[in-house]
Structure formats: C-alpha cells, structure tokens
Amino acid sequence: MSAGLSFDGRVVLVTGAGGGLGRAYALAFAERGASVVVNDLGGDSKGHGKSSSAADKVVEEIRAKGGKAVANYDSVEAGEKLVQSALEAFGRIDIVINNAGILRDRSFARISDEDWDIIHRVHLKGSFLVTRAAWNHMKNQKFGRIIMTSSAAGIYGNFGQANYSAAKLGLLGLSNTLAIEGRKYNIHSNTIAPTAGSRLTQAIMPQDLVDAFKPEYVAPLVLWLCHERCQENGGLFEVGAGWIGKLRWERSLGSIVREKNHPMTPEAVQDKWEKICDFDNASKPRTIQESVSILNDVLSQIESEEVSMNPTSYTRSASSGFDPSKYVGQKLPTVVYNYTHLQPILYALGVGMTTKDPDHLKFVFEGSEAFCCLPTFGVIPAQASLWDGGLSSVAGLNSDFTKLLHGEQYLELYKPLPTSGLLTSESTIADILDKGSGALILLDVHTYCGKDLLCYNQFSLFIVGAGGFGGKRTSEKAKVTVNPPNRTPDAVLSDVTTVDQAALYRLSGDWNPLHIDPGFAALGGFQKPILHGLCSFGFAARHVLKHFANNDVTRFKAIKVRFVKPVFPGQTLQTEMWKEGNRIHIQTKVKETGEVAIAGAYVDLTSILDKPSAKDPIKASGLQSDLVFEEIGRRIKEVGNQLVKKVNAIFQWDITKGGETAAQWTIDLKNGSGEVYQGPAQGSADTTFTLSDQDFMEVVLGKINPQKAFFSGKLKVKGNIMLSQKLEMILKDYAKL
C-alpha cells in the first residue's frame, strides 16, 4: 500500500461542485487537507437559472467536517472570477478540476444554435477560460494539475448528443496540448471520461445503476492525477463503478496508394481499402512526431520506386514465392577482415580527410604519435558480410545490385578500433519488413577482435520490388532515426567532395559499380555514378567528431543515419548539427541544391567526464565540481523525468574550499522533469551535503564511497539522511563518472 496522499497546502478549484461528481471531488480533496473553492452556478441540468444554495451546501458539509472551503457562484464563463476567489481566499491556485456541465440533448437535426452554443460555452469555453486564468499562477510556481472532463459520448459518439459530443472531445484536444505546453513548468493536464449516477444521468440510467455508480468511485482517480507525486500527463481515462482504464490511439499499418509519376486515384484507394482498415500489426503513435514520421518513410519509398532500372520491379513479388520468415534469424557466414594501417588511411582519405587540415594528420599518417582509426571505419569490416557470399546466400534477394538501396545505417562502438588487425564479423538477418514497394532487410553485424566485441552495425537494405509479400512494416529490432530539434543548428560544417571521391571511397571495399560505372548508373536511373551513402556518412560523422569532440575518437559512441537523396561526387556536403546533451543531431545537405541527403541522423558521444583527456583538464580555475554539476544538469535534461519519479527529492550541495563554502548547487529531482542550478535550493532542500571540492571529486570518481566519506567526517549531511542512498543513482548511473 502506498503512503497516504496529502493535499496539505494545496488550493483546489472544482467547477460545478454543487452536486454529483464535483461535490465528491470537493469533499475528497478537503478531507485530505486541501483548501477548496466550491464553484457552482446552481442552475438546472439544462443550464437555466442560478442559485447559491448548491455551492453553499457543499461548503457547509466540508466545514462541518473540519475542512477548508469557500463558495463561488459564478458561471465558468467568467473564468477569471473563479480563480480570483481562490487567490483571495487562499492566496494561490494549484489544481483546477473542470467539471461543470449541462445537457441539451436533441437529435442532430433539431439542435438549435442556442443548444449548440450553450453546450460549447459551458463545457469547452468555460474550461478554457478557467484554466487560462489559472495558467500563469501555475507556471510561476512551477506546479499545476488540471483535469478536463470529457465523456464516452465524445469518444464514441452517442445518439442525441452531437453538441455535447463535440464539446467533450474538444476538451481532450485542449488537454493534449496543455500537457505539452505545461510539461516544463510541472503543469500536468489529464482528461477523464467518467460514468456516475448524478442528476445528469438520472434521466438515462435506471435508478439502481444511478445508486450503484457512485461519484465517490471516480474521485480517487482525480485525486491521484492531481497529486504532486503523479507524473501522468496528457492521459485519457475512463472511470466508473470502481474501475479505471486508460485509452490511447491505435493506427492501422495502412497502405501506400500512390506511385511515383502516376496520379493518385480514388480507385487505388478503393483497391487498398481492406489493407488501409486492417488493424493487424497496428501501431500506437503517442505524439504528433511519431504520428507523422511515417510520412518521411512513405515519401522515400515512393521516391525509391524511380531509381529502379527495371520497370518490372514495380510488380509485387508475392508471386515470386519469396518467404521472409525462412530467413529471419538466419546467420550469414562469418567473414574475416585482415588489415594493416593502409586500410584506415585509405578510408580516411575516402571520407575526405586531407593533409591540408593539420588535425587530420593522425588519421592519414601511420607515423603520427596519435595515429588512429576514424570511428566510422567500423562499417568497413562489417560490410564484407553483404558481399562475399553473404546476403546473396538468401535466395530471392540475390545480388541484383541495381535493386539494392542502402536505406539506413547504425553503428555503435564499444572500443576504439585498432589501426591494424584481424577482425571477424558475425551477421544475422534481424528482420525483413514488407514496405510495399520493396522489402527492407535489417542486417545485424557484430565485429570482434579475438573475443572482444568491437562494434555493432545495423544495415537497413531496401530491395526494390521485393515487397508485397504480406509481411509486417515495422520491427522493434530496428534502430530508429530521430528528427533534429526545431531550431537553427548549433554548428554547420561543410566540405567539398572531389570528383573522384567515390572512386577513392570504393577502394575501402564497396564494389558496387553504381558508384563508378556510368553505364551501370544509367541503368539504375542516375545521370552519373553516385557517391556511396556510407561515404557521406563518413563526412558527417567526422564533422561531428571535429566540432564537438576535438577529434577525440574515444568519445565516439554511436551513429544513426537515414539516406534520403543521392549525392554526386564533386558536390558539397554540408552538415548541420544540433547539440542536445551528449547527442548531436545531424542533417547533411547538398549545398549546391539545398537537398537533404542524410536525415533523422545523430551521433552519440560519451561525456567529456567519462574520460577526461589531457587536453581538457577539469577547469583550471574555479572548482572542479562545477563541471560535474553542469554535466549532471545535462544528463538530467535527458533522463530527468525518470529520475524525478525514482528519487523525488531536492538535494543541496555546499562545496567548500579551504574550510569556506565556495559554491552551492541544487539538484532538484522533485519538480517538473528535474533541474540543476547554482545556489541554494529554492523552497527547501530535503537533504543538504557539505564537503570539500577535493572530496567531492573523489566521491564522484569512485575513489571513496559516500558512506565512507560520511563516517570519516568528510561529508556532512543535514535533513533526510536516508535519501543520500539515492546519491549513487545520480552520481554513478547518470553521470557515469
């Protein structure tokens, strides 16, 4: 059983609280310590008349039980006034329950303008006005909880309730957006669709159900959703009779009904209707980004039809007898890659490294003291699996290179790559997806040096014309692309490729003639040979490495890219980069045309503090701990939500130097999605730690553990000492120090 949920100190405004559900909420909040504004216009169930008695009665009930409440008799259409009552009586507003409601049920054709308008004014506009009046107060105090009251009539429709259904579903849309806009201020908005016996349902429910579905069976959900401990935001719940369920959207896999260079027709829609409405393998998009991300896929699939040299490849290969289930999980023959320093140098030149740039020397000169391999060289030993008796061993996919497109690439490094050696790569067909116009093969390749796993690649290979076999469209095994943030890039680097870039790059082992032979390229529909996708990938990766990691290869963790458009040798690759913590989002454009060549891409770097390099000593001046807090701050930005759930506490740090307090830091893992800031805790800290800058670094670097530091007197703890156990979670797991 969870600990009691108290609302001491919280101020709650419940609209329409003079009866039914609202009354039950008001009583329940007051019982748990909240100060409640009981709002009710006191009219009839159709919205006629007004009276103060409904609200007064509930206020009296609360006060009789020792609770705190005031009445407000305004209509929700006077939103500001309701919030004003809360501020005047209790000085703040924390929680708004939009509950007031009336009915004007009529069959659709008989709904008058008045019936339509009043329903919208009370339910939708009323909720908007009351919530807007409270919003800035919530924002400023970085806490707010909002409930919208929807209805099954809105979600599913209900005879005779067109006006009400429309307004009720409107409230869900309103809540969904408030959830997004409020998130960073710790304002959460959720929607409920209740079922309860009340005066509104009396006319439509038999009396025994009205009695059985008590409003008291809905109130506990509302209280939980409004508690500071509850992180739910943007949810929709059906609730009644003591049961609660959550709802979400489901979307069929759908079907592409358009072909490149052909008009899209209603007949094509009709032909695909069954597939469009088939919920097998449905997806469950949760955000607008997730929802529309499929459209990129659709465009590139439609686009890719054209690059096929062979018009017959449009015909679905269902009749070819291709059965992917036979191949998923199949291991391809192990390939061995034996190399000297020559290959990493050739590769570096292939992806545009040049002696013109002094900091490139360590990649192109084996005699350099710091000679090392570019991290993206990791694709080279792995790609051999595609050729040498690899993929071609899968019947039906045989090596018709004109039909093979490299869709996406993921590479993760576990160790810096050796500059020479003997590597083995083991490949597995992780999945085969049916993308309609083609089959997408996910090939997982693990590359080892002896027993040591060096790197993992996932190749996403699109075989034009091999789709339509009735397979699934998505796979949980796929490493997914991520769109960059919606702002101007933090950095842009560009490099001109040479006309011989592809001719040079192919010497690293990608022998597809598409990149060198004009005749072959023409067969594939290109005006001339195109650059290897993995060559542009190499350019983009080294741009990130240079700009954000000072060319330190040990900081490179992983890269994911999607190849969108071909690049021709001689064109300029321009990499736009956005830094979000240790993830650098990237997008590569062809400068001359402005077209995006690589999209949805990112590079993950390890934190500077994972491996302090000689060039970056921890702040020469000031405190060493500053950098650690800054880094923890960045991590919390990434994973703060989960941490807030797990830790739920505010920690203050007093860092001393020479016996004096030299800095104060606060790690707030209680409010919103957490934050780290310099200075004492705003509000109050649950636990305050005092220790010297030096000892702090030792704790952080794992040289002494916090318990030892405490018992030896180096670390002083004030407040809730038990919470210090959670420190390791913050310092070790998340700062990875």
User: What residues are annotated to the active site?
Assistant: 164
Which member of 18, 170, 566, 672 binds ligand NAI (CB under 6 A)? Answer: 18
Residue among 115 and 695 whose Cβ is closer to ligand NAI = 115
Kindly state whether residue 22 participates in binding ligand NAI, applying the rule CB under 6 A.
yes
Per rule CB under 6 A, is residue 239 in the interface with ligand NAI? no
Q: Does 198 bind ligand NAI (CB under 6 A)?
A: yes
| 3-state SS class at 318 | helix
CA distances from 20 to 82, 147, 203 (A): 19, 16, 14
Does 79 participate in binding ligand NAI (rule CB under 6 A)? Answer: no
Pairwise CA distance, residues 148 & 171, whole Å: 6
Specify the amino acid at residue 602. Answer: Y
* Contact status: 199 vs ligand NAI (CB under 6 A): yes
Q: Name the one range near ligand NAI by CB under 6 A: 40-48, 305-313, 625-633, 691-699.
A: 40-48
Of the candidate spans 195-203, 309-317, 435-443, 659-667, the one that interacts with ligand NAI by CB under 6 A turns out to be: 195-203
Please pick, from the candidates 31, 32, 33, 43, the single residue that binds ligand NAI as defined by CB under 6 A. Answer: 43
> Which of 5, 32, 45, 606 is close enough to bind ligand NAI by CB under 6 A?
45
Give the count of beta carbons closer than 10 Å to the beta carbon of residue 49: 9
Residue in 28, 62, 76, 219 binding ligand NAI, rule: CB under 6 A = 76
Instruction: Provide the residue type at 639 as one letter.
Output: V
Q: Which of 19, 234, 390, 640 binds ligand NAI (CB under 6 A)?
A: 19
Query: Restricting to residues 117-146, which ones interact with ligand NAI according to CB under 6 A?
Result: 122, 126
Looking at the chain, how many residues does it have?
737
Residue 96 in the binding site for ligand NAI (CB under 6 A): no
For residues 146 and 189, give the distance between their C-alpha atoms in angstroms, rounded to a whole number.
5
Q: Which is nearer to ligand NAI, 197 or 352 (CB)?
A: 197
Q: Which of 100, 382, 514, 545 binds ligand NAI (CB under 6 A)?
A: 100
Please report whether residue 20 would count as binding ligand NAI according to CB under 6 A: yes
Q: Please list, in sequence order, all residues whose beta carbon lies within 8 angstroms of the beta carbon of residue 237, skipping any fewer than 6 positions away.
A: 190, 191, 192, 193, 221, 225, 244, 245, 246, 247
Among 13, 14, 30, 41, binds ligand NAI (CB under 6 A): 41
Which listed range, 99-107, 331-339, 593-601, 621-629, lies at the site for ligand NAI (CB under 6 A)?
99-107
Concatenate the DSSP letters of all residues of 401-437 into one string. GGGEEEEEEEEEESSPPPSSEEEEEEEEEEEEEE-SS
Nearest CB to ligand NAI, comparing residues 99 and 313: 99
Number of chain residues interacting with ligand NAI (CB under 6 A):
32
Beta-carbon contacts of residue 45 (< 8 Å; ≥ 6 apart): 102, 103, 199, 200
- Does 67 bind ligand NAI (CB under 6 A)? Our answer is no
Which one of residues 84, 158, 201, 428 is an interface residue with ligand NAI (CB under 6 A)?
A: 201
Q: Interface with ligand NAI includes 149 (CB under 6 A)? A: yes
Other beta carbons less than 10 A from residue 311's beta carbon: 9
User: Segment 355-384, which members bind ligand NAI (CB under 6 A)?
Assistant: none
Q: Please check whether residue 457 is in contact with residue 447, taking contact to mean a CB–CB distance below 8 angstroms.
A: yes
> Regarding beta strands 583-590 and 595-605, do their DSSP bridges make them parallel or antiparallel, or are they unpaired?
antiparallel
Site stretch for ligand NAI (CB under 6 A), options 12-20, 538-546, 547-555, 625-633: 12-20
Distance CA 171, CA 96 (A): 14
CB within 8 Å of 200: residues ≥ 6 apart: 20, 45, 101, 102, 103
Q: Which residues of 462-491 are buried (b: 16+ CB within 10 A; e: fewer)?
A: bbbbbbbbebebbbeebbebeebeeeebeb
| CB 83, CB 13: distance < 8 Å | yes
> Which residues contact ligand NAI by CB under 6 A?
15-16, 18-22, 39-43, 45, 47, 54, 75-76, 99-102, 122, 126, 149, 151, 194-196, 198-201
